Amino acid sequence: MTPMPAATPLSARVPGRVNLIGEWIDFNGGIVLPMTLDRHVTVGLTPNKTDKDLIRSAQFADQGAFPVDAPAAGHWSDYVRGALQYARNARWIAGGVDAEIASDIPVGAGLSSSAATIVATLRAASAGLSSVEPVSIAQAARQIENEFIGVPCGIMDQMAVALGRAGAALALDTRDCSYRLVDVPSDWVFAVIASGTRRALADGRYKERRGECLAAAQALGVDLLCDADISAAGRLPANLAGRARHVIGEGVRSRRAVDALSQGDRPAFGRLMSESHASLRDHMEVSVPAIDALVADALTLGADGARITGAGFGGCIVCLVEAGRAASWWEDLSSLHPAAERIA
Ligand code: GLA
């Protein structure tokens, strides 16, 4: 539990998320299946009657002090400032603010700390304005990430942290943002394990993979890559063929996974997760050897399924384990991988 920053009238608490399946398809027309974590970011805002935002975080030693209209500066406070600028344009708040941030969501681990920070800031800034719906907050947060931060992400993370609830996964159709919450059976545990390798989405590889997906869709004559015919992928250059194979296959897997979850079919769900990992490793090429080793050992030790989660290039794995064996499974896995950390 993260302590709330000192009570201010404008405050919000928002969870991180883990994506169970449906990776790299939230801008390709797919269904994704994220779930919130019991890790949160809290934001408290106090208008300061100046033309500067002053942003402090319990996690970072330096504070961010910037004119209210300053562009992104590659600083951790960008996520807060982008949201504050949006909130001022929407006339939710006026002038500069003092912002206090506290979070126990690991940064750079693929658990949406940035989406949670933006959504929490937007929620705090619009506290008390009943007309601001969670879906609008999520869409605004994506716009801030795309335009202010400069990462061309899809809508999954923002929707997950704005709409998710504990104990359920969010089956989200990214074509139209329709969704339903599907309860997770009480004997299923989704263990989230940090590998110790961090990554940064703004480092260009996300943009590169996204560009390849768009190029593959164009070459195959579809607007959304999930709609392409997998048998046509072979005529593309090797990198685009790989991206197409992953995205088309993942679109099918995530639909099946929603069914398996609804039916309580744990072995089927686990198999789909492991197939997703193999495809992310071989076709999307977003895994790293340390993560592949962690996934392989998680399966050998008895997980029903395991995969890298989030954009990849390091970060976390998510594993499905039967509740009764989760504790001993983790004991065995952590003795093989002492640097691994259990997040959930
Ligand atoms: C990041 C992005 C999401 C999504 C995933 C990959 O988390 O923010 O929009 O594309 O990567 O599934």
What does the domain layout of the chain look like in residue ranges? Answer: 10-183, 188-342
Query: Which residue(s) pair with 98 in the sheet?
Result: 46, 54
Question: Active-site residues: which are they?
Answer: 157
Main-chain dihedrals φ then ψ at residue 205, nearest 5 degrees: -70, -30
Among residues of the chain, what percentage have pLDDT more than 90?
92
Q: What is the CA radius of gyration of the chain?
A: 20
Q: Does the C-beta of 24 come closer than 6 Å to ligand 1?
A: yes
- Is residue 122 pLDDT above 80, yes or no? yes
Greatest C-alpha distance within the chain: 61
Instruction: Select from 3.30.565.10, 2.30.110.10, 3.40.50.2000, 3.30.230.10 the CATH code of 10-183.
Output: 3.30.230.10
Q: Please state the atom number of ligand 1 nearest to the C-alpha of residue 156.
A: 9
CATH topology of domain 188-342: Alpha-Beta Plaits (3.30.70)
pLDDT in tens, 60-108: 989 989 999 999 999 999 999 999 999 999 999 999 999 999 999 999 8
Q: Does the C-beta of 145 come closer than 6 Å to ligand 1?
A: no
Binning pLDDT at 50, 70 and 90, where does residue 1 land? Answer: very low
What mean pLDDT do residues 44-53 have? 97
- What separation in Å is there between the alpha carbon of 335 and the centre of ligand 1? 31
Q: Does the C-beta of 100 come closer than 6 Å to ligand 1?
A: no
pLDDT at residue 119 in the model:
98
Q: Counting beta carbons within 10 angstroms of the beta carbon of residue 70, is it exposed (0 to 12), middle (13 to 18) or buried (19 or more)?
A: middle
Q: Does the C-beta of 311 come closer than 6 Å to ligand 1?
A: yes
Residue identifier of the C-alpha nearest atom 1 of ligand 1: 311
Q: Please state the atom number of ligand 1 nearest to the C-alpha of residue 153.
A: 9
Do the domains at 10-183 and 188-342 have one common CATH topology?
no
